[in-house]
Structure 1
C-alpha cells in the first residue's frame, strides 16, 4: 500500500517569481456585485446617465437597480434632448431605415411612450421637462395632467406641437418659471404669449429662438406685444424675432423687473439712443449691431441650436 507523500508548506514568498503578473488575465479578477451598491450611489449614477439611458435598459440590470430607477425623486428632471437616439429619430412608416447598434433608430411614438413612463415615475414631482423633436400635443396633455409642480419647460424643434397643445399645457402649469421655445414653428402669436403670461404668473425667464426665414415668411403683426403679459420676467431672450422698437418699449414698460434682455438677430430693432435710454435700467443688454438684409430665396437659418442656449441652471 502506497503512502501519500506529505504536503510541504510553501514558505512565504517562495515561488512568487513564477506567479503571473497582475492584470494579465491568467488569474480571474473577482467580479463586483453591482446590485449591492447603496441606494444613494445608484441614484447618483442614474442622474448622470439621464432619462433616456435609464429607460432604454440601465434600470433593468437587476431588482435593486429597478427599484432605484423607479424612485420619484430621480424623475424630477427629465431631459430628452442632445442624445444620439433623439438625433436619429425615424418616421414610423419608414421601412428603408435599418437599426444600428451604434446609432439606434427609434421613432417618435417610442420616445413619447418613454416620456410617459418618466412622467408616471415622477408621481407628480416632475419639475423640469426638456425635449427635442419628438413631442406632440398629446404628450403635452399627458404631462400637464400629471405634473402640477412643473417649473421648467424647454421644447426644441418640436414640429408636432401646435398652439392648442402648448396652451393646454401652460394652463395647467401655474408654477412655471422658465420657458424655452426653440425652432417650434407651429407655436406663436400674441394671444399665445399673452395666455402664457396669464397662466404662469411666476414666469421669470422666457427664451424664444426662431428661424429667420420662418419669422419673415410667417410674420404675425404685434406678436411681440404678447410678451408684455409676462410681468415677472427677469430674463427675456428673443432670437430671430421680428419685434420692433415700439413693441419692445411696451414690453419693457410692462416688465419692470427685467434684468437681462437679449435681442440677437432681431433686425427690426434700431439700436438708437432712445432705445438705449429706455433700456438703461436693464443690467445685461444685447442689441443687434445692425440691420441685416436677408434673401428669402436663400436657405438661411439665423442660428444653430447651440446658439439657443436651451440649457437651464435647473437641470
Structure 2
C-alpha cells in the first residue's frame, strides 16, 4: 500500500487589520509622510485610523521621494494639507521639495503654531511675503531653508524683524551660480517688457566701481549680519559674498557654530580670515577637499530622489 506524507497543518492567516493601534503607529513612524498618505493609510479602516494619529505628523518630510517629481503641484499641496490637518497643530518640522506654493505657506502659517523648522528645497512658487508670514505666525520657529532659489537681500531683514531668534538659516544655491548673469537676465526681461530690447549703441555704460561691486555682492551677507544675530548655523554655499561680507557675518553673528561657504567664488580667504573661521565648530570653505563630516550641514540636493530609471 502506498503511503502518502501527512500534510502539514495550515498556518493561520494573520489579519494585519487587527493590529493594536500602538504597535501600528510605531510601524508608521518608520515610514515617510508620502508613504503613509499614498499607501499605508489606505489599506483598511484601522490603518487609516492609525494614520490619523497626530503624533505621526510632528515631523513631516516630503523630500527625496520620486512622487515629488511625478505628481503635479496641486496634488502634492493637497497631500501636504492633509498632513498639516492631521497634526492637530503639533507639527514641528515641515520639509518639502519643488511643489510648495505661497498658498500652502499661508495654510501652514494659520495652522502650525508649533512649527520649529521649515525647509524648502528648490520651491519656485513661493513669495517672500508668504515665507515671512510663516516666520511671523510661528513663534517657535528656529530654522528656515529656502535653497536653490535666490531671494532678495531685503528678505533676510524682514525675517530678522519678525523672528530675530532664528537659529539656523540655509540659503545655498547651485554650484556655479552667477549672480551677475541672473541680474543681466532680469534687466533684459525688464527692457523687453518696456519695449526697449534694442540696445542703443551710442549709449555709454558707466563702469561700476569696485566699492559698488563689493556692496552689491555682499547684500545678503550684510543683511544677515545686521538682522540675525542669534544664528548658530548658516549655509550659503554658492553665494556671491566677498571677504568683507564674511567678516560682517562673523562679527554680526557671534554665536555661529556651523558655516557652509563652499562654492563661493569671491572668497580669496587670507590667513586672518581663515583663523577666524577656524574658531567655529564646523566650517566648509571654498575649495576645501577634506571636509569634516557634520550631519547638521547635510545638504538635500535639488533633484535628490528623482527616479531616472525610465529615462
- The question of 1:146 aligning with 2:111 is answered yes
| 1:70-219 alignment runs, 5 A limit | 70-88=52-70, 106-185=71-150, 188-211=151-174, 212-213=176-177, 215-218=179-182
Work out whether residues 224 and 248 of structure 1, in 8 Å CA contact, stay in contact via their aligned partners in 2. Answer: yes
Q: Structure 1 length as normaliser, TM-score? A: 0.75
Q: Structure 2 length as normaliser, TM-score? A: 0.76
| SS across alignment from 1:78 | strand
Work out whether residues 234 and 260 of structure 1, in 8 Å CA contact, stay in contact via their aligned partners in 2. Answer: yes
Compute the displacement of 1:260 (Å): 1.6
| SS across alignment from 1:239 | coil
1:18 corresponding residue in structure 2: 5
Structure 1: distance between partners of 2:69 and 2:298: 17
Structure 2: distance between partners of 1:30 and 1:184: 55
Structure 1: distance between partners of 2:94 and 2:36: 16
Greater C-alpha radius of gyration: 1
| SS across alignment from 2:119 | strand
Compute the displacement of 1:152 (Å): 0.9
Compute the displacement of 1:28 (Å): 4.5
2:257 corresponding residue in structure 1: 259
Compute the displacement of 1:36 (Å): 2.1
Work out whether residues 235 and 261 of structure 2, in 8 Å CA contact, stay in contact via their aligned partners in 1. Answer: yes
Structure 2: distance between partners of 1:218 and 1:35: 55
| Aligned residue pairs, count | 256
Compute the displacement of 1:280 (Å): 4.4
Work out whether residues 221 and 248 of structure 2, in 8 Å CA contact, stay in contact via their aligned partners in 1. Answer: no
- The question of 1:36 aligning with 2:18 is answered yes
Structure 2: distance between partners of 1:172 and 1:127: 13
| SS across alignment from 2:229 | coil
Q: Which has the higher helix share?
A: 2
Structure 1: distance between partners of 2:250 and 2:82: 41
Work out whether residues 180 and 310 of structure 1, in 8 Å CA contact, stay in contact via their aligned partners in 2. Answer: no
The gaps in structure 2 that reach 5 residues or longer are 184-215, 289-296, 302-311
Larger mean CA deviation between 49-58 and 219-228 belongs to 219-228
CA distance change for structure 1 residues 215 and 31 in 2, over 3 Å: closer, same or farther? farther
CA distance change for structure 1 residues 289 and 19 in 2, over 3 Å: closer, same or farther? same
Compute the displacement of 1:308 (Å): 6.0
Compute the displacement of 1:60 (Å): 2.7
CA distance change for structure 1 residues 286 and 57 in 2, over 3 Å: closer, same or farther? closer
Compute the displacement of 1:232 (Å): 1.2
CA distance change for structure 1 residues 167 and 241 in 2, over 3 Å: closer, same or farther? same
Structure 2: distance between partners of 1:78 and 1:273: 43
Compute the displacement of 1:43 (Å): 1.2
Compute the displacement of 1:263 (Å): 0.8
Question: CA-to-partner distance for each residue in 1:186-242, whole Å, 9 max, x for gaps?
Answer: xx1221012222322332221222123353423664122122122111111211100
1:279 corresponding residue in structure 2: 277
CA distance change for structure 1 residues 182 and 19 in 2, over 3 Å: closer, same or farther? farther
Structure 2: distance between partners of 1:164 and 1:218: 21
